[in-house]
Amino acid sequence: MGLPAGSRGILTSGGSLSSFSAIVTARHERLGEEFADGSLYFSDQTHYCVTKSARLAGFPRASLRELPTDARFRLVPRALDAAVREDRARGRRPFLVVANVGTTNTGAIDPLPEIRKVAREHGLWVHADAAYGGFFRLAPGGEVLLRGIEECDSITLDPHKGLFLPYGLGALLVRDGAALVRAHGGSASYVQDVAEDGALGFADLSPELSRDFRGLRLWLPLMLHGLAAFREQLAEKLALARWFYEELQADPSFEVLDEPQLSIVAFRLRAPEAEAERLGPELQRRVNARRRVFLSSTRIRGRYALRVCVLSFRTHEDRVRDAAQALKEEARALLA
Ligand SMILES: Cc1ncc(COP(=O)(O)O)c(C=O)c1O
């Protein structure tokens, strides 16, 4: 991810626990022992594990500041700046902004360099939730697409999403590795024998002591297939989402909510509001009943939307064509 020497990482059960450790670390570094007056910022598209983690990390609801997004569902840096100034004037202590690198709804990427600029001015920790999107940095052009991720203080990554691995494999990277230790370190005399050589253990960096052997599950596929295989797959998923977007965009039955920023396309039936709301779930049911693809649904700005997320190593052009064809056929039948 382009972090400098001195950064460290931990493997977790997934993005939720990575977010939790990131927030605890940022809290520890920026606020100290008394933190109820701290404020953290995130967009209205942020995954709910962030607010859940903040609550688990001890923050009251008044600490959570949800910010609006632009037409492409990205956090607006100006709104961040204004919220921080307003909170400061009220005597609060702004300390953290969570930036999305691939939102769950549409795959939106928040403007990291601009967020970083605001954050630097106000001394905020920048955490990137790149659980879904982070590994696209490995695809050709990925470093440009995810520009600014290398400047973040911490990054959530989910190998069980972007590296196609089985569930139960998340990661957290922290720019200043020592911060992880300051937030999570501890000791007891009955563990003195396992750290004889003075090496840091996972328990010094994470909430866990006994744990799964997650490293093997990450290392083995990389060793067996090589990184090039993953880069190729990620590039294919981006191209498939782009192809799917163009297909739906050209069909009058659909309203596509945004051009894909990564490998997610969210869309709805093009129909009067009430009808689109009523027929959307039926469209999903009919397409999924064909048992070729599994579409999920969501609500975006209060409106029902379907979602295609291309993120399986088994998903290739034939399957995405199946999805587009099934959608077009069922949509035509429903709107007729
Ligand atoms: C953007 C984003 N962040 C965080 C999470 C939470 O990750 P996990 O389910 O691995 O806890 C998800 C998906 O579940 C996600 O899409």
Ligand 1: nearest atom to the Cα of 15 = 7
Ligand 1: nearest atom to the Cα of 17 = 11
Of 12, 21, 135, 161, the residue with max ligand 1 atoms within 8 A of its CB, to mutate for a pocket test, comes to 161
Percent of the chain with pLDDT over 90: 94
Residue 186 above 90 pLDDT? no
Ligand 1: nearest atom to the Cα of 102 = 1
Question: 85-119 pLDDT, tens per residue?
Answer: 999 999 999 999 999 999 999 999 999 999 999 99
Mean pLDDT calculated for residue range 200-221: 93
Q: What is the pLDDT of residue 195?
A: 67
Residue 198 above 80 pLDDT? no
- The closest residue, in CA terms, to atom 4 on ligand 1 is 15
pTM for this one? 0.97
What is the residue type of 303? R
18 burial (CB, 10 Å; 0-12 / 13-18 / 19+) is buried
Q: What is the pLDDT of residue 196?
A: 64
Residue 142 above 80 pLDDT? yes
Q: Please tell me the distance between residue 335's alpha carbon and the centre of ligand 1 in angstroms.
A: 34
- Quick one: which of 127, 124, 149, 126 has its CA closest to 136? 149
Question: 143-172 pLDDT, tens per residue?
Answer: 999 999 999 999 999 999 999 999 999 999
Percent of the chain with pLDDT over 70: 99
Residue 200 above 90 pLDDT? no
- The closest residue, in CA terms, to atom 6 on ligand 1 is 15
DSSP reduced 3-state for 13: coil
Q: What is the pLDDT of residue 199?
A: 74
Q: Which residues contact 232 (CB under 8 A, 6 or more apart)?
A: none
Residue 266 above 80 pLDDT? yes
DSSP reduced 3-state for 65: strand
Which of the four pLDDT bands, split at 50, 70 and 90, describes residue 191? confident
The strand order across the sheet containing 303-309 reads 254-256, 264-269, 303-309, 296-300
With a Cβ cut-off of 6 Å, ligand 1 is lined by 14-16, 47, 49, 102, 104, 129, 131-132, 158, 170
What is the residue type of 110? D
- Quick one: which of 87, 107, 109, 91 has its CA closest to 40? 87
**Distance, CA of 40 to CA of 51 (rounded, Å):** 9
Mean pLDDT calculated for residue range 55-67: 98
Q: What is the pLDDT of residue 201?
A: 82
Of 47, 48, 169, the residue with max ligand 1 atoms within 8 A of its CB, to mutate for a pocket test, comes to 47
- Quick one: which of 201, 149, 198, 199 has its CA closest to 175? 149
Q: Please tell me the distance between residue 158's alpha carbon and the centre of ligand 1 in angstroms.
A: 8
- The closest residue, in CA terms, to atom 7 on ligand 1 is 15
Question: 281-334 pLDDT, tens per residue?
Answer: 999 999 999 999 999 999 999 999 999 999 999 999 999 999 999 999 999 999
